[in-house]
Amino acid sequence: MNWIIRHEEQYLEERSGDEYREYRSHVRRWVQGAAAQVID
């Protein structure tokens, strides 16, 4: 996974804690590129 995505997710988790973890449990990751990918 892209370093920027991991860094941003870490930041959001530190900032929002349980609220972000709850959101993340219901939303799939989308990585934009030549072919869109879904990362689970």
Strand partners, 38: 30
**pTM score:** 0.61
Predicted local distance difference test score (pLDDT) of residue 34: 52
* pLDDT tens per residue, range 10-30: 999 999 999 999 999 998 877
List the chain domain ranges. 3-39
> Do strands 37-39 and 29-31 pair parallel, antiparallel, or not at all (unpaired)?
antiparallel
Predicted local distance difference test score (pLDDT) of residue 16: 96
Does 5 or 10 have the greater pLDDT score? 10
Look up residue 3 and give its two tokens.
Answer: 């370093």
